[in-house]
Structure 1
Amino acid sequence: MKRIYLNEKENENEKDFIIERKEKQYKFPKLILIMRSELYRGMFLSVTEDKSNKVTDYSELSNKSFQIFEYWIYSNQIKEEIQITQEIINEIEIGIDYFQLNQTNPNLFDLLINKFNNQN
Protein backbone atom coordinates (compact mmCIF):
# COMPACT_ATOMS: atom_id res chain seq x y z
CA MET A 1 0.00 0.00 0.00
CA LYS A 2 1.33 3.39 -0.96
CA ARG A 3 1.82 5.85 1.91
CA ILE A 4 0.38 9.30 1.41
CA TYR A 5 2.05 12.32 3.00
CA LEU A 6 0.82 15.86 3.04
CA ASN A 7 3.48 18.50 2.68
CA GLU A 8 4.90 19.29 6.15
CA LYS A 9 4.87 23.00 5.31
CA GLU A 10 1.19 22.87 4.45
CA ASN A 11 -0.83 25.08 6.75
CA GLU A 12 -3.71 23.70 8.79
CA ASN A 13 -6.40 25.01 6.42
CA GLU A 14 -4.90 23.17 3.45
CA LYS A 15 -5.27 19.79 5.17
CA ASP A 16 -9.05 20.06 4.92
CA PHE A 17 -11.29 20.08 1.90
CA ILE A 18 -14.58 21.96 1.88
CA ILE A 19 -17.72 20.12 0.87
CA GLU A 20 -20.68 22.40 0.47
CA ARG A 21 -24.25 21.42 1.07
CA LYS A 22 -26.90 24.03 0.43
CA GLU A 23 -25.57 27.02 2.40
CA LYS A 24 -23.46 25.11 4.91
CA GLN A 25 -19.85 24.07 4.50
CA TYR A 26 -18.27 20.92 5.96
CA LYS A 27 -14.55 20.36 6.32
CA PHE A 28 -13.27 16.87 5.60
CA PRO A 29 -9.64 15.85 6.03
CA LYS A 30 -8.12 15.34 2.60
CA LEU A 31 -6.50 12.06 3.68
CA ILE A 32 -9.89 10.54 4.48
CA LEU A 33 -11.30 11.63 1.12
CA ILE A 34 -8.22 10.19 -0.62
CA MET A 35 -8.86 6.85 1.09
CA ARG A 36 -12.54 6.76 0.12
CA SER A 37 -12.75 8.18 -3.41
CA GLU A 38 -10.90 7.69 -6.69
CA LEU A 39 -12.05 11.18 -7.71
CA TYR A 40 -10.53 12.86 -4.66
CA ARG A 41 -7.43 10.66 -4.81
CA GLY A 42 -6.80 11.83 -8.36
CA MET A 43 -7.60 15.43 -7.50
CA PHE A 44 -5.27 15.68 -4.49
CA LEU A 45 -2.40 13.50 -5.70
CA SER A 46 -2.19 14.74 -9.28
CA VAL A 47 0.92 16.72 -10.08
CA THR A 48 -0.95 18.84 -12.63
CA GLU A 49 -4.19 19.40 -10.69
CA ASP A 50 -4.67 22.56 -8.66
CA LYS A 51 -4.65 21.37 -5.04
CA SER A 52 -6.53 24.31 -3.60
CA ASN A 53 -9.55 23.81 -1.38
CA LYS A 54 -12.05 23.50 -4.19
CA VAL A 55 -15.62 23.22 -3.06
CA THR A 56 -17.67 20.18 -3.99
CA ASP A 57 -21.41 20.80 -3.93
CA TYR A 58 -23.53 17.99 -2.44
CA SER A 59 -26.74 20.04 -2.36
CA GLU A 60 -28.60 17.48 -4.46
CA LEU A 61 -28.47 14.93 -1.61
CA SER A 62 -31.28 14.88 0.93
CA ASN A 63 -30.42 15.45 4.59
CA LYS A 64 -30.61 11.74 5.40
CA SER A 65 -28.49 10.73 2.40
CA PHE A 66 -25.85 13.32 3.27
CA GLN A 67 -25.79 12.08 6.89
CA ILE A 68 -25.20 8.54 5.58
CA PHE A 69 -22.45 9.79 3.30
CA GLU A 70 -20.79 11.89 6.01
CA TYR A 71 -20.86 9.10 8.61
CA TRP A 72 -19.56 6.57 6.07
CA ILE A 73 -16.68 8.85 5.00
CA TYR A 74 -15.38 8.83 8.57
CA SER A 75 -16.29 5.33 9.74
CA ASN A 76 -16.79 3.09 6.69
CA GLN A 77 -20.11 2.12 8.28
CA ILE A 78 -23.77 3.03 8.24
CA LYS A 79 -25.40 4.11 11.49
CA GLU A 80 -27.57 1.36 12.93
CA GLU A 81 -30.52 3.66 13.65
CA ILE A 82 -30.86 4.97 10.10
CA GLN A 83 -33.77 3.48 8.17
CA ILE A 84 -32.76 2.80 4.56
CA THR A 85 -35.40 3.31 1.87
CA GLN A 86 -35.36 2.64 -1.86
CA GLU A 87 -35.37 6.41 -2.39
CA ILE A 88 -32.15 6.80 -0.36
CA ILE A 89 -30.52 3.91 -2.22
CA ASN A 90 -31.36 5.50 -5.58
CA GLU A 91 -30.09 8.91 -4.47
CA ILE A 92 -26.83 7.62 -3.02
CA GLU A 93 -26.22 5.40 -6.05
CA ILE A 94 -26.10 8.52 -8.22
CA GLY A 95 -23.76 10.26 -5.76
CA ILE A 96 -21.51 7.19 -5.56
CA ASP A 97 -21.13 7.14 -9.34
CA TYR A 98 -20.61 10.89 -9.62
CA PHE A 99 -17.99 11.07 -6.87
CA GLN A 100 -16.39 7.73 -7.79
CA LEU A 101 -16.89 6.22 -4.34
CA ASN A 102 -17.66 2.76 -5.72
CA GLN A 103 -14.13 1.36 -5.55
CA THR A 104 -13.85 1.41 -1.79
CA ASN A 105 -13.83 -1.41 0.70
CA PRO A 106 -16.38 -1.86 2.08
CA ASN A 107 -18.45 -0.46 -0.74
CA LEU A 108 -21.07 2.06 0.47
CA PHE A 109 -23.68 0.85 -2.01
CA ASP A 110 -23.25 -2.79 -0.95
CA LEU A 111 -23.63 -1.78 2.70
CA LEU A 112 -26.84 0.11 1.90
CA ILE A 113 -28.33 -2.80 -0.05
CA ASN A 114 -27.48 -5.28 2.74
CA LYS A 115 -28.99 -3.03 5.38
CA PHE A 116 -32.09 -2.45 3.25
CA ASN A 117 -32.54 -6.20 2.67
CA ASN A 118 -32.10 -6.94 6.39
CA GLN A 119 -34.74 -4.35 7.29
CA ASN A 120 -37.34 -5.92 5.00
Structure 2
Amino acid sequence: MKRIYLNENENDFIIERKGKQYKFPKLILIMRSELYRGMFLSVTEDKSNKVTDYSELSNKSFQILEYWIYSNQIKDGIQITKEIIDEIQIGIDYFQLNQTNPNLFDLLINKFNNQNQ
Protein backbone atom coordinates (compact mmCIF):
# COMPACT_ATOMS: atom_id res chain seq x y z
CA MET A 1 0.00 0.00 0.00
CA LYS A 2 1.24 3.49 -0.84
CA ARG A 3 0.93 6.22 1.74
CA ILE A 4 0.54 9.96 1.48
CA TYR A 5 1.76 12.07 4.39
CA LEU A 6 0.99 15.70 5.02
CA ASN A 7 3.05 17.63 7.53
CA GLU A 8 1.43 20.95 8.35
CA ASN A 9 4.83 22.51 9.06
CA GLU A 10 6.24 21.84 5.60
CA ASN A 11 5.50 23.22 2.17
CA ASP A 12 5.86 19.81 0.51
CA PHE A 13 3.38 16.99 0.32
CA ILE A 14 4.97 13.54 0.16
CA ILE A 15 3.54 10.68 -1.86
CA GLU A 16 5.20 7.38 -1.10
CA ARG A 17 4.99 4.91 -3.95
CA LYS A 18 6.72 1.53 -4.10
CA GLY A 19 9.12 2.52 -1.32
CA LYS A 20 10.11 5.80 -2.96
CA GLN A 21 9.02 9.24 -1.77
CA TYR A 22 7.96 11.96 -4.18
CA LYS A 23 7.79 15.53 -2.91
CA PHE A 24 5.21 17.81 -4.45
CA PRO A 25 4.97 21.47 -3.42
CA LYS A 26 1.52 22.01 -1.95
CA LEU A 27 1.04 25.17 -4.01
CA ILE A 28 1.53 23.26 -7.28
CA LEU A 29 -0.93 20.56 -6.20
CA ILE A 30 -3.46 23.24 -5.22
CA MET A 31 -3.10 24.84 -8.67
CA ARG A 32 -3.40 21.53 -10.59
CA SER A 33 -5.78 19.34 -8.61
CA GLU A 34 -9.29 19.90 -7.28
CA LEU A 35 -8.69 17.01 -4.86
CA TYR A 36 -5.65 18.61 -3.22
CA ARG A 37 -7.10 22.11 -3.39
CA GLY A 38 -10.02 20.93 -1.30
CA MET A 39 -7.83 18.91 1.02
CA PHE A 40 -5.24 21.62 1.73
CA LEU A 41 -7.68 24.50 1.97
CA SER A 42 -10.28 22.68 4.08
CA VAL A 43 -10.38 23.75 7.69
CA THR A 44 -12.35 20.70 8.79
CA GLU A 45 -10.45 17.83 7.17
CA ASP A 46 -7.81 15.92 9.13
CA LYS A 47 -4.58 16.37 7.19
CA SER A 48 -2.26 14.40 9.45
CA ASN A 49 -2.15 11.15 7.45
CA LYS A 50 -3.49 10.21 4.03
CA VAL A 51 -3.37 6.83 2.34
CA THR A 52 -3.94 6.17 -1.32
CA ASP A 53 -3.27 3.36 -3.75
CA TYR A 54 -1.48 3.97 -7.04
CA SER A 55 -1.27 0.29 -7.99
CA GLU A 56 -3.21 0.91 -11.22
CA LEU A 57 -0.45 3.16 -12.54
CA SER A 58 2.74 1.84 -14.08
CA ASN A 59 5.99 3.63 -13.31
CA LYS A 60 5.89 5.28 -16.74
CA SER A 61 2.34 6.57 -16.23
CA PHE A 62 3.18 7.88 -12.76
CA GLN A 63 6.25 9.65 -14.19
CA ILE A 64 4.07 11.27 -16.87
CA LEU A 65 1.63 12.47 -14.21
CA GLU A 66 4.43 13.69 -11.96
CA TYR A 67 6.11 15.65 -14.78
CA TRP A 68 2.80 17.12 -15.90
CA ILE A 69 1.83 18.19 -12.38
CA TYR A 70 5.12 20.09 -12.12
CA SER A 71 5.38 21.50 -15.64
CA ASN A 72 1.91 21.35 -17.21
CA GLN A 73 3.58 19.56 -20.15
CA ILE A 74 4.24 16.06 -21.44
CA LYS A 75 7.94 15.28 -21.43
CA ASP A 76 9.50 15.03 -24.89
CA GLY A 77 10.51 11.59 -26.08
CA ILE A 78 7.74 9.74 -24.21
CA GLN A 79 6.07 7.07 -26.33
CA ILE A 80 2.33 7.21 -25.62
CA THR A 81 0.37 3.96 -25.89
CA LYS A 82 -3.32 3.17 -25.43
CA GLU A 83 -2.43 1.42 -22.16
CA ILE A 84 -0.74 4.56 -20.84
CA ILE A 85 -3.73 6.68 -21.85
CA ASP A 86 -6.02 4.30 -19.93
CA GLU A 87 -3.76 4.38 -16.87
CA ILE A 88 -3.40 8.15 -17.00
CA GLN A 89 -7.19 8.48 -17.09
CA ILE A 90 -7.26 6.71 -13.71
CA GLY A 91 -4.68 9.20 -12.39
CA ILE A 92 -6.57 12.15 -13.86
CA ASP A 93 -9.74 10.97 -12.16
CA TYR A 94 -7.97 10.39 -8.85
CA PHE A 95 -6.15 13.74 -8.81
CA GLN A 96 -9.27 15.44 -10.21
CA LEU A 97 -7.22 17.04 -12.98
CA ASN A 98 -10.10 17.16 -15.47
CA GLN A 99 -10.54 20.93 -15.37
CA THR A 100 -6.93 21.92 -15.89
CA ASN A 101 -5.75 23.93 -18.85
CA PRO A 102 -4.35 22.46 -20.99
CA ASN A 103 -6.22 19.23 -20.39
CA LEU A 104 -3.74 16.37 -19.88
CA PHE A 105 -6.02 13.76 -21.45
CA ASP A 106 -6.42 15.86 -24.62
CA LEU A 107 -2.65 16.37 -24.82
CA LEU A 108 -2.05 12.63 -24.51
CA ILE A 109 -4.60 11.83 -27.23
CA ASN A 110 -3.07 14.43 -29.56
CA LYS A 111 0.46 13.12 -28.92
CA PHE A 112 -0.73 9.52 -29.46
CA ASN A 113 -2.45 10.46 -32.74
CA ASN A 114 0.63 12.36 -33.96
CA GLN A 115 2.88 9.38 -33.16
CA ASN A 116 0.65 7.02 -35.10
CA GLN A 117 0.13 8.96 -38.32
Q: TM-score if structure 2 supplies the norm length?
A: 0.85
Quickly say closer, same or farther: Cα 1:107–1:96, change in 2 above 3 A: same
Whole-angstrom distance in 2 between the partners of 1:3 and 1:45: 20
Q: Contact between 2:4 and 2:52, CA under 8 Å: does it hold in 1?
A: no
Q: Contact between 1:89 and 1:112, CA under 8 Å: does it hold in 2?
A: yes
- Offset at residue 74 of structure 1 (A): 0.7
For residues 38-85 of structure 1, what are the alpha-carbon distances to aligned partners after superposition, in whole Å with 9 as ceiling and x for unaligned?
A: 000000001111233635443431111011011101100001100000
Q: Contact between 1:19 and 1:27, CA under 8 Å: does it hold in 2?
A: yes
For residues 11-34 of structure 1, what are the alpha-carbon distances to aligned partners after superposition, in whole Å with 9 as ceiling and x for unaligned?
A: 995211011211111111000000
Quickly say closer, same or farther: Cα 1:3–1:34, change in 2 above 3 A: farther
Whole-angstrom distance in 2 between the partners of 1:69 and 1:5: 19
Q: Contact between 2:2 and 2:51, CA under 8 Å: does it hold in 1?
A: no
Unaligned 5+ runs, structure 1: none
- Greater shift, 39-48 or 12-21, is seen at 12-21
Q: Contact between 1:16 and 1:53, CA under 8 Å: does it hold in 2?
A: no
Could you say what the CA RMSD is over the residues aligned between the two structures, in angstroms? 6.0
User: Could you tell me the percent identity over the aligned residues?
Assistant: 93
Q: Contact between 2:14 and 2:24, CA under 8 Å: does it hold in 1?
A: yes
The answer to whether structure 1 residue 42 and structure 2 residue 20 are counterparts is no
Name the count of aligned residue pairs: 116
- Greater shift, 109-118 or 13-22, is seen at 13-22
Moved over 4 A (4+): 1-6
Instruction: Decide which structure has greater strand share.
Output: 2
